[in-house]
Amino acid sequence: MSEEEEPAGARPAVRATATRLRVGLSAFRRRTQEAAIDGDLTAPQLTALSRLDRLGPLTTAELARREQITPQAMGATIASLEQRGLVARSADAADARRSILSLTPAGTDAIHSGRSALSDKIAAALARSFTRDEIAVLDAAAPLIERLSELLLPPPSQHLETLMPASSSEATLSGPASGTPGESPFSWQFTTPLFIGSALNPVNSSLIATALLPIAHGLGVPLGQTAALVTALYLASAIAQPTAGKAAEVFGPRRVFIAGIIGVAIGGLVGGFAQDLLTLLVSRVLIGLGTSCAYPTAMLLIRHRARDAGLDRPPGGVLGGLQIAGTATASLGLPVGGILVGSLGWRSVFFINVPVALVALVTTLAWVPADGPLSRPLRARDVASRLDLAGIAGFAAAMIALLLFLFGLPALHWYLLAISLVLWAALVLWELHAATPFLDIRLLVSNKALTSTYLRLGLLLMCVYLVLYGITQWIEAVRGLNETEAGLVLLPMTLVTGLVVAPVSRRNLVRGPIIAAAFTCLIASAGLLLLTGTVSIAVIVIITIIFGVAMGFGVSGNQTALYSQAPPEQLGTASGLSRTFGYVGSIASSAITGVVFHSSVTNSGVHLIAWIMIGVSVVLVALSVADRTLRAKTPAT
């Protein structure tokens, strides 16, 4: 190589300067990250604000091109700036389909005032330890360092080829997330373990129902005590779902997903070999904790995959498949459990988790990309702070007290409700002051759209589980069907749910399906008034199919809404919390069923449940129709 062709960095003096800059800037970056204060603007946020200040209004895609990152990554940054009121979005006068971003007065002030907790720390260090001449040298070097950083980037065309897809179509993307050119980023290899893992929780929630009587006979315990096996999984799941989401945000979703799958396998073995009820309770808790890791981590993995692939919309088909696996499969547990118990005995409902978990584990290790390395080694104190372990403990205690009160109905243990209310109040006070809150109260208050989504899910699933619990009991007691036959009557509901979820999710529809779910739930609830001891089984099946339609519309529309309403960095916790609301709804349905059918299962009792469901459905309709934040489809980011 000639001297003219020799890179400047190869000359010893320049190489030494480059090395000193690299070492010095790396140390500076590391120290500023460690000194960063919650609430301060991050480096990507400051860069985006600075671009808008210097260049004027731009689209998200234009900002992404200038920073040479994916539009999805820039969209996450812009969303956080919009939430803080620093950036405003308006329609492009030349093309109404595009949104133009511009600084708000607060955003302009954030750039020009220089007010920043971290900047104040740096300024204090400069004033304390540097002379005026040294500060002047650093001031002169700042634009040179910025210029050097831009020169280190590859040419835009070369860089964007590896980051941005040739098309926004979900099926023909290339880039890092795709694996190979032309391969979909959401191939069946990537989605299979996520779907398997997400199905384990709802299936296990109903699988145990057919095994309770054989367990009581096999272990020699009263039948009433075996109901604790149902309670144990619900308690563990209601607490663990958002906890797993928070852990995924800190440690990485794939790591938490794998840990959960291992927990399911261990729980299956413990339950399969159990010789007493206490061991079975431990098994159900382990299964509940393990299966709860799947859905929130899957949502986060999908979000990361979409971001890396540069998708401009949520991957609707994938979200639909996840919703079918994570919700619609709940009623499959009854017929599957009946077959397992009838042919292999009650231990099989525990052992079946082991091979399924092993399949999920092997496919995850083979097909789901590993999480990136942690930004820095986490000490125990860091983990406790970032996970907000105190908040998690408070949430668990408040939730346990509330659920025990509900499970105790019709007996009124008011002290449990009082304890729960006190714990909830203490939790709110704690979370308002926590650095990284587990339950972001400010987000729930300010993001009314997300809170409404949680309420809709809770009310809808309360009605659906009243069918699974209450109507199933009525079918068995009044119509004389056994548990397997009752499960088969409800099977079409599951199939219809899956058929509705797929096309709705694929089109990223939101408002229409949510409103349709509320009205169909109301119609089906009114249909329950037709149930009598002589009504045809065909009428029962038709009513449950309408509930399946309602569930399909509701879970798909609300999940797509959640994907776009939750802050990207909190999607794991937000997804887990949505499941917690669903579990509270299902537990409330169990409590209602227990109160209404306390002495006996009758036609008048099922009609009372119908009127309760009609009332809930009316509230659901009002919430859905009145929510003006819902859009027809999820907008492009």
Residue 39, Ramachandran bin (φ over 0: left; ψ between -120 and 50: alpha; else beta): left
In a domain, 408, yes or no: no
Question: Looking at the 3D structure of the chain, how many domains does it have?
Answer: 3
Kindly tell me if the per-residue pLDDT of 3 is higher than 50: no
Question: What pLDDT sits at residue 171?
Answer: 33
Amino acid at site 406: L
Q: Is residue 424 part of a domain?
A: no
> Does the structure show a pLDDT above 80 at 353?
yes
- What's the average model confidence in pLDDT over 610-629? 93
What pLDDT is attached to residue 585?
A: 83
Q: Residues 564, 454: one domain? A: yes
Which H/E stretch holds residue 101?
strand 99-103
Task: Using the predicted structure, report yes or no on whether residue 148 has a pLDDT greater than 90.
Answer: no
**Two structure tokens written together for 88:** 């405003």
What SS3 state is found at 581?
A: helix
Residue 582, H or E segment: helix 571-596
pLDDT tens column, 262-293: 999 999 999 999 999 999 999 999 999 999 99
CA distances from 470 to 143, 473, 491, 516, 613 (A): 70, 5, 16, 24, 11
User: Among 71-80, 248-257, 309-318, which range has the highest average pLDDT?
Assistant: 248-257
Q: End of a domain among 164, 188, 211?
A: 164
Query: Domain with 480 in it: what CATH number?
Result: 1.20.1250.20
Question: Can you say whether the dihedral through the CA atoms of 574, 575, 576, 582 is positive or negative?
Answer: positive
- State the pLDDT confidence band at 164, using cuts at 50, 70 and 90: very low
Would you state the pLDDT for residue 476?
79
**Can you tell me the distance from the alpha carbon of 77 to that of 47, in angstroms, rounded to the nearest whole number?**
10
Distance of alpha carbon 514 from alpha carbon 62, whole angstroms: 33
Beta-strand pair 87-91/99-103: antiparallel
218 is written with which tokens? 């096999």
**Is the predicted pLDDT of residue 141 greater than 50, yes or no?**
yes
pLDDT at 15 over 60: yes
Q: Are residues 445 and 579 in the same domain?
A: yes
Residues 467 and 566 in one domain: yes
In terms of domains, do 160 and 187 share one?
Answer: no
Whether residues 467 and 513 share a domain: the answer is yes
Same-domain check for residues 181 and 271: yes
Asked if the model's pLDDT at residue 331 lies above 80, the reply is: no
Residue 8 within any structural domain of the chain: no
In a domain, residue 380? The reply is no
**CATH code, 64:** 1.10.10.10
Residues 446 and 576 in one domain: yes
Higher pLDDT, 436 or 497: 497
pLDDT recorded at residue 180: 42
Tokens of 611: 């009127």
Q: Give domain status of residue 394, yes or no.
A: no
Q: What is the pLDDT of residue 169?
A: 33
Q: Find, among 228, 588, 206, the residue nearest to 405 by Cα.
A: 588
Question: Is it the case that residue 208 has pLDDT exceeding 70?
Answer: yes
Q: Which residues pair with 87 in a beta bridge?
A: 103
* pLDDT level of residue 150 (50, 70, 90 thresholds): low
What residue has token string 């391969």?
183
Mean pLDDT computed over 518-527:
95
Same domain, 353 and 450: no
| DSSP characters over 522-546 | HHHHHHGGG--TT--HHHHHHHHHH
Q: Which of residues 109, 134, 164 is at a domain's end?
A: 164
Same domain, 349 and 495: no
Is 404 part of any domain?
Answer: no
Kindly state whether residues 193 and 306 are assigned to the same domain: yes
- pLDDT confidence of residue 522: 96
Q: Quote the DSSP letter at residue 436.
A: S
Is residue 128 exposed (0-12), middle (13-18) or buried (19+ Cβ within 10 Å)?
exposed
pLDDT score recorded for residue 107: 80
Q: Where are the beta strands (DSSP E) in 421-548?
A: none
In angstroms, the CA 232 to CA 292 distance is 13
Query: Do 464 and 596 fall into the same domain?
Result: yes
79 and 194 together in one domain: no
Tell how far CA 13 is from the center of its chain: 53
Note whether 279 and 270 are within 8 A (CB): yes
pLDDT at 174: 32
How much is the pLDDT for 33? 60
| Range 598-604 average pLDDT | 82
CA distance 248 to 246: 5
Tens of pLDDT along 445-475?
A: 878 888 899 999 999 989 988 887 788 778 8
Q: What is the pLDDT of residues 31-76, one digit of tens each?
A: 666 555 545 677 677 778 878 887 788 887 778 777 666 665 677 7
The mean pLDDT of 326-343, rounded to a whole number, is 78
Q: Show which of 326, 349, 374 is a domain's final residue.
A: 374
| Tokens standing for residue 529 | 């008034």
Full domain range(s) for residue 127: 36-164
Alpha carbon of residue 419 to chain centroid: 29
Decide: 402 and 420 in contact? Cβ < 8 Å. yes
Q: Among all chains, which residue has been given the structure tokens 């409590």?
A: 591
| 235 within a domain of the structure (yes/no) | yes
- Kindly state whether residue 330 falls inside one of the protein's structural domains: yes
